[in-house]
Every structure is written in structure tokens, then in C-alpha cells.
Amino acid sequence: MSQQKFLASQSIGSFLETLLREHRVLVPLCEGDSVVFRPFRKGGGLELTRMPTTSPKEATFPRVETLMSFTQKVSAPQEEDGGKERPEIELTEHLPQDSTVVFGSRPCGAKGKTIFSRVYDTEAVKDPYFIARRDNTLFISIACSAPETTCFCTSVGGGPADSTGSDILLIPVTDGFMAEAVTEAGAKLMESAFFDAGTQKAEEAQAVVERAETKLGQAQDFSNAREKLLKLFDNESFWEEMSAKCISCGTCTYLCPTCYCFNITDETAGNTGKRVRTWDNCMDYLFTLEASTHNPRSSKAKRLKNRVGHKFSYYPSLHEEHIACCGCGRCIKSCPAAVDIRQIVKSAQEYEDVNI
Ligand code: SF4
Ligand code: SF4
């Protein structure tokens, strides 16, 4: 572990206020029964002990964003056009410029953007909006000291103190956090006087992480999930059974830090308009509805098969066995029908054994 510094709980508000001078700062706070990421406000509340209900992916992939705006104009009649007016479109691209700090994400939430990057930042495909936001967003994550029964990060290559995707990792200790810089940008933030190099609670921090790992228990072995799910691709009865409880509400996709599907809409008013990107939801009937009215995923069984198969089979086969799930358990905890993605994959893994 690199050098750690101490961030006192009582200094967090002042530290965040200094960040506001240069960054938009998102923090978890309570809204009703939920913990959601909202812009930090001086004197506003913070909820740093409970797992955030929503994921911090909005920082790098907003649920609604304007990609460009346009105005239709009509040029003066041109001789080469036979004296006719020629319509012209004036485009203005809205590339994100802001710098953001997400304070208080969990390791699983910060890791989500790495799963996006394998799709939106490749040799062949560059999503300039995602890339600009990702490169201008710092994650200060808090290691989990008390994982919930729905958490399974250690089963998908993560852990309660996994630093993947974070710039600073904070480990909760008495009266504050031990902070470890993960990136150069994180180290720069930790040059702030609010981080104290003189107070060392490394042993306590280590014990916190070990307790959390113990609480998570034995990791589920997903190593053969990819091929087992593929074998079940055409098994309709299996997927009908797995999806029987699902009500197609889409909560699982909206809360997931690794779901990256979107829709594009042009919104117009008179001769002006804007192109808007919004999150999409593969659990919805409309997701694959074609203009011909044919729908290749017309049943919830087919949609759930796609969601689970994408995360545990198709994505790993394209991206060096990386599972497109960080084990945060949000989809399990918030599903109104108690659908459990871990159980579905396990059922797929065990299917042949009980059906020989
Ligand atoms: S949250 Fe549960 S009920 Fe809603 S779409 Fe997802 S699996 Fe189905
Ligand atoms: S599939 Fe569920 S457990 Fe996995 S990252 Fe998404 S919300 Fe979290």
C-alpha cells in the first residue's frame, strides 16, 4: 500500500467546499428512504455510511444529456440551384467541459466506468461525450466496512477496498478515514492540508477491510458461467422460469453502474432543436421494438436472458473475460419482485447437472 494520509470526519465539509472552487462535487445524501448522488452544498447533509441506492454513473453518463443543438436556416436563392432556396443546418456540439469530483462512491460504483470504457473508448469507437466526462471526473471512494447481503463484489473480481476506477480510496477508521492515492490526480488532491500525513491508522484500516472481506463470505465461482449461459440460449422454459417474477419495471437497469445502453431523440421546436441522449432500458418491451412492429425480444424471458447473458457471457467473451457486473447488488436489493441475478447465473451453471 502506498503512503496513507488521514482525513478527519470533521474536515470533510471544509474539504468539499474547497473542491467547489474548481469542480462540480457530487455526494451521496438521503432522499426519503434512498441514498442518491446530488451536488454538494455548503451545510447540506452527507450520507457516508449507507450504500448509495443509485450508482454514481450519472457523473460520467448522465441520464439525459444534450449532444448537440441545431437550427435550420434557408439560404438565399442560388443560381446553381436553379434559383431555389437551399435548406441549411447549423450544428452546435455540446461537448462536456465541466470537471466533477464524486465523493463517497463505493468501489463497485467507481469501477463501473471501466466497464463502459471497453465499449465507448476503443480503437474503433470513441464516444467523445463519455470520454470527456470520464477524463474530467475524479472518484473519491469509500471502502465498504459493512457489506450487505446483496453485495458480491468479490465474486466478480472486485472487493470492499478495490481501487479500480477510483482516484482516492478512503478506508473508514475512528474519527475519519485513511486515504490512499490511486492516481496522480488523486495524489494532487491529497496535497490539500485537510489530509494529515502525521496521523497513521493503517492497522485499523487493514482490519476494517479484512472484516468486510470476511463478512462477504465465500465468493461465488462464475468461471464457467459464460459457456453455461450460451448453452441455455435457446432453452425457453429455463428463461421463462427465471423471469416469471419479473414485472419489467427496469429498476435493475436504471440503478446498475454498468448498464450503458442509451436512446437518441431529436426534440424540435420550430426551426430549432436538440439531439438528446437518454438512458435506455433493455428490460422494456419497447427497447427492441422495430419500425416494422417485429420485436426480437417480445417476452420478458427473452429480455432477462439478454440482460444476464450480456453481463456474464457476451461481454466477457468480447472483453478478455471481464464480467460486466461489479457485484454491487443494487438490482437485487431494489427489485420489487426479488429477482436475484446471482441466483439466475447459479441456476444456469447448475442446470445441466440436475437435468442429465
Ligand atoms: S428490477 Fe426486477 S422486476 Fe424490475 S425489470 Fe429488473 S428484474 Fe424485472
Ligand atoms: S447487474 Fe446488478 S449487481 Fe451487477 S453491477 Fe448491475 S446492479 Fe450491480
Taking the centre of ligand 2 as the mean of its atom positions, its distance from the CA of residue 90, in whole angstroms, is 41
For the beta carbon of residue 79, count every other beta carbon within 10 angstroms.
7
- In terms of Cβ atoms closer than 10 Å to its own Cβ (0-12, 13-18, 19+), residue 302 is middle
**Cβ(179)–Cβ(104) below 8 Å:** no
Banded model confidence at residue 303, pLDDT cuts 50, 70, 90: very high
Residues comprising the chain, all counted: 356
Tens digits of per-residue pLDDT, 203-233? 999 999 999 999 999 999 999 999 999 999 9
Angle at CA 109, nearest 5°, toward 107 and 110? Answer: 65
- C-alpha 241 – ligand 1 centre gap (Å): 14
Digit-coded pLDDT (tens) for 259-281: 999 999 999 999 999 999 999 99
State whether the Cα torsion 36-37-43-46 is positive or negative: positive
> What is the Cα 193 distance to its own chain's centre?
31
Write down the pLDDT at residue 76. Answer: 77
Mean of per-residue pLDDT scores for the chain: 95
Spacing, Cα 24 to ligand 2 middle (Å) = 26
pLDDT class of 356 with cuts at 50, 70, 90? very low
Atom of ligand 2 nearest to the CA of 156: 4
Check: CB of residue 13 under 8 Å from CB of residue 194.
no
Residue 44 has what pLDDT?
85
The answer on pLDDT for 127 being more than 90 is yes
- Model pLDDT, residue 320: 95
Average pLDDT over residues 236-260: 97
Q: Which residues' Cβ are closer than 6 Å to ligand 1?
A: 246-252, 283, 335-337, 339
Residue 121, SS3 per DSSP: strand
Cα of 252 vs centre of ligand 2, distance in Å, is 7
Between the CA of 109 and the centroid of ligand 1 the distance, in Å, is 20
pLDDT, tens digit (0-9, with 9 covering 90-100), for 91-121: 999 999 999 999 999 999 999 999 999 999 9
On the 0-12 / 13-18 / 19+ scale of CB atoms within 10 A, 46 is middle
pLDDT at residue 1 tops 70: no
Ligand 2, atom 7, lies closest to the CA of 256
pLDDT, greater one: 356 or 35: 35
Ligand 1 midpoint to CA 247 (Å): 6
3-state secondary structure of 261: coil
Which residue, by CA, sits nearest to atom 6 of ligand 2? Answer: 256
Condensed to tens digits (0 to 9), the pLDDT of residues 2-59 reads 678 999 999 999 999 999 999 999 999 999 999 999 999 988 889 999 999 999 999 9
Flag whether pLDDT at 87 surpasses 90: no
Q: Give the residue carrying C-alpha cell 451453471.
A: 349
- The residues spanned by each domain of the chain are 4-74+85-216, 225-354
The kind and range of the H/E element at 124 are none
* Sign of the CA dihedral running 296, 121, 115, 227: positive
Side-chain half-sphere CA neighbours of 180 within 13 A? 18
Q: Does the C-beta of 256 come closer than 6 Å to ligand 2?
A: yes
Mutate to test the pocket of ligand 1, among 53, 54, 251 (most ligand atoms within 8 A of CB): 251
Provide φ and ψ at 145, rounded to 5°: -100, -20
Residue owning the nearest CA to atom 2 of ligand 2? 331
Write the DSSP assignment of 315-328 as a string of letters. HHHHTTT--S----
* pLDDT over 90 percentage in the chain: 91
| Model pLDDT for residues 317-339, shown as the tens digit of each residue | 999 999 999 999 999 999 999 99
- Atom of ligand 1 lying closest to residue 304 CA: 7
- Nearest Cα residue to 217 out of 142, 152, 312, 143: 152
